[in-house]
Chains A and B, each alone.
Chain A
Amino acid sequence: KQEVTQIPAALSVPEGENLVLNCSFTDSAIYNLQWFRQDPGKGLTSLLLIQSSQREQTSGRLNASLDKSSGRSTLYIAASQPGDSATYLCAVLDSNYQLIWGAGTKLIIKP
């Protein structure tokens, strides 16, 4: 059974710092991995999608990597801003076409 783990559960850093969020999964048989952002009272926003054949994806200050063989992904946020404060969720699309979710990392960027 696929399990997704995100570390740390919460992170608080000063504005301007670069930071890394981690996601690990137990079964490497995935179709893709996605990073989402969840703001309080709002829906989920997809940030980056990495297909199983890809190693990384970039969008603006965000860079996500995927190492399928080791079951790991990282989300790198450069030059963090207070507006980046949110919960970041990692999800893998497993062999049954189900999205399996991590519990999220709650990120707080202090001005």
Chain B
Amino acid sequence: GAGVSQSPSNKVTEKGKDVELRCDPISGHTALYWYRQSLGQGLEFLIYFQGNSAPDKSGLPSDRFSAERTGGSVSTLTIQRTQQEDSAVYLCASSPGTVQETQYFGPGTRLLVL
């Protein structure tokens, strides 16, 4: 079956604009995660969803970042008033049930803020 998909694969935007990143998890997976990988740095946890609810939003770097998940499937990560330091690869992953199961990753969205 299809894996985790993300769109767009690449996004170039100007500083101050809003961007929306999309993640389609593997069908039937109830848990969904967002991570960020900045150039030269490790992966950083942002947020995870169990169904449509996000028990832990503490990883979001600022109030410009928000995420939602509808219908227990697609999730969108929105960055408002983008800054150059937001440039990174944003990765989405899903797992079948609990957070303790193997996570399957999408190819990522490469965001460049000019």
Residues in A lying within 8 Å of B, measured CB to CB:
4, 31-32, 34, 36, 41-46, 49, 51, 89, 91, 93, 96-104
Contact = CB atoms under 8 A, between A and B. Distances in A.
B107 A103 contact: no
Report which residue of B35, B59, B105 has the largest number of chain A beta carbons within 10 angstroms of its beta carbon.
Answer: B105
A1 B107 CA distance: 29
B91 A43 contact: yes
Contacts of A97: 48, 55-56, 99
B34 to A, nearest CB: 11
Task: Give the residue among B4, B100, B106 with the most A Cβ atoms within 10 A.
Answer: B100
The 8 closest A-B pairs by CB, nearest first: A44-B105, A101-B43, A43-B105, A43-B107, A103-B42, A97-B99, A101-B42, A98-B45
A103 B55 CA distance: 26
Contact of A44 (B44, B91, B100): B91
A61 B36 CA distance: 30
Nearest to A36: B105
A99 B33 contact: yes
Nearest to A99: B45
A91 B104 contact: no
